[in-house]
Structure 1
């Protein structure tokens, strides 16, 4: 049994939600994303930042190598454009349902999974149509076994309560996982690549050109 977490990396720093979002992050410094919006670092960024700066689980050199790897990823190798990740549709077939004529087709959404080392933790990437624009939107989910989370009550054999939370302890292995997630985010699309590079430059400004 897994907890599926659509882990994020930013929060809007301007507009009506800006002040409220500032209280949600422990890193109040902002960066400009692909759309040139001011954003706060959040979730994944906080894990990496403290893993490097305070806990020393990850060396600055490891982060720098990840930064260079993301920066050197060719546009043609991004997951929203490569052929193996294209959304496919079958030819429409006429069918009748409840006395009305429809056209039926099958739509296949490509999904890939990445296993993190010796852990039973996976990242899933699935391509979907953009909801408010034309094109494809890669979506990343982190799948964590429920047994790796700490709950106030044993979660096995019962239905979890609404808004019930589990605690995920970040050790060296989880910190390394966060760094690998940065690399995966950096290959999703041009937008994601731009965002994670801007985040790394903000968190570790020595690499900013």
Structure 2
């Protein structure tokens, strides 16, 4: 499958883009970006040089992915969500050597207008609610909301909320089974 690039998009020479990826209106992909297969980048998306994006990633309109951000496979970034890359930005102080690495693990979802403060890891299949501000690492399968974001529960790989009566549960929607061990949710194989 061919790469689709809208005529208004800019893809700088040297960017690595996997097959089946779609880049829509007014997007800009910098030359050092590495993008996997079957991704979709909405209108006004910006992807910087030091960015690694896995396969089947969906980035909705008006998202800028700055240097030092990694998105693993199957990540979803909602409309107008925000990444940062410096903890203490100042216009008059250059801090490009102080960028903090941010990583979104496989299958994680970031809701519309949420902010991910740099230097944090968003756990696999976790879900960050719309408008939340993430200031610390997020556990795998965690459901977090608020400003600052705090955990209010757990979500299944299918995206539905799950709850634990004991240390074991099964998703009523997809029947995947989970165990709660040492305050971490784990998928049972």
Q: Which structure is richer in relative contact order (CA contacts within 8 A, separation 6 or more)?
A: 1
- Which TM-score tier does this pair reach, normalised by the shorter chain? under 0.3
The structure with the greater share of residues assigned to strand is 2
Give the TM-score taking structure 2 as reference length: 0.23
Give the TM-score taking structure 1 as reference length: 0.21
